Amino acid sequence: MTHAALGLVLAAACIHATWNLLAKRVGGGPAFVWLFGSLSAACYAPLAAAVVVLQKPRIGDIQLLFLFGTAVLHLAYFLLLQSGYRAGDLSLVYPLARGTGPMLATAAAIVFFRERPTPVALLGTALIGVGIFLLAANPHPPGRRRSRAAVAYAVLTGAFIAAYTLWDKRAVSALGIPPILLDWGSNVGRAALITPVALARWGEVRRVWLAHRRDVVLVGLLSPLPYILVLTAMVFTPVSYVAPAREVSILIGTAMGARLLAEGDPARRLTAAGAMVLGVVALAIG
């Protein structure tokens, strides 16, 4: 991997962990998801328009169906992620969600696409399982019910990460939808789908905006950017190098939660996150 590609991937990992830190601090629900999704759609519209003009992609009925599907999947992902952050720590929810996603995507690929993973990939799955066990094991009984809810939301979030990973892979590889256009379409569709809820809770939308305007703007600007940086790196770097390197965000997010938010048990959580990073690397290599 060249220095330029490594720089792009590490920047993407840091940005991804950073916007998740901001989202954790807000602890919002549908109102927050609508606000930053609408902002993302507006800010990245010129880039999407440039892709349409320059690449002239074919957008037929099947492509529109996949654009709608990715919007639904990403909406569920963001809502579950925010529910997880309201229920538990960033250093618990973030690595669980990011780690279980690749593991479940691998399992789904075996079942639906009849892929056959190598022993290295199976070892990676086992390492992720160890990390999940270490994170989910709660040594503090007073917070057990809350931690169980956070773990449940994180695992469900990981399931939707797996779902949209497989769905989006087909959209860009088999149907020819440009990745940037797919991401922008997801933002537009997500904002449109949740608009009725935002209008019904307009008072909550105003409160979130007035109390967390800076965080809303930053999440809206930052959340699409890691994907774009990773795509840029993939232009001149093999996917097998880029995919595992970007998952260093698991460690970064866990460290941010443990240190910046003063969340408990940093040694156990960082150890678990490290096992999950190694597992994801093994999945990518295998």
pLDDT above 80 for 143: no
Rounded CA-CA distance 101/215 in Å is 26
Structure tokens at 121: 């990939």
Average pLDDT over residues 41-49: 94
Average pLDDT over residues 222-238: 79
Compute the radius of gyration of the chain from its Cα atoms: 18
For residue 102, the enclosing domain spans: 3-285
202-222 vs 3-26: helix crossing angle, rounded to 10: 170
Q: Worst-scoring range by mean pLDDT, 19-23, 39-43, 108-112, 130-134? A: 108-112
Return the pLDDT at 23: 94
Average pLDDT over residues 47-58: 92
Q: What is the pLDDT of residues 11-23, one digit of tens each?
A: 988 999 999 999 9
Rounded CA-CA distance 56/35 in Å is 30
Return the pLDDT at 142: 46
Return the pLDDT at 141: 44
pLDDT above 80 for 140: no
Q: How many domains does the chain have?
A: 1
Higher pLDDT, 125 or 238: 125
Q: To the nearest whole number, what is the mean pLDDT of the chain? A: 84
Q: What is the pLDDT of residues 239-285, one digit of tens each?
A: 556 666 677 788 888 888 888 887 777 788 888 888 877 887 776 67
pLDDT above 90 for 60: yes
pLDDT above 70 for 115: no
Q: In the Cβ-directed half-sphere of 88, how many Cα atoms lie within 13 Å?
A: 27
Question: What is the sign of the dihedral through the CA atoms of 72, 169, 21 and 209?
Answer: negative
Average pLDDT over residues 224-245: 72
Average pLDDT over residues 58-81: 94
pLDDT band at 198 (very low <50, low <70, confident <90, very high): very high
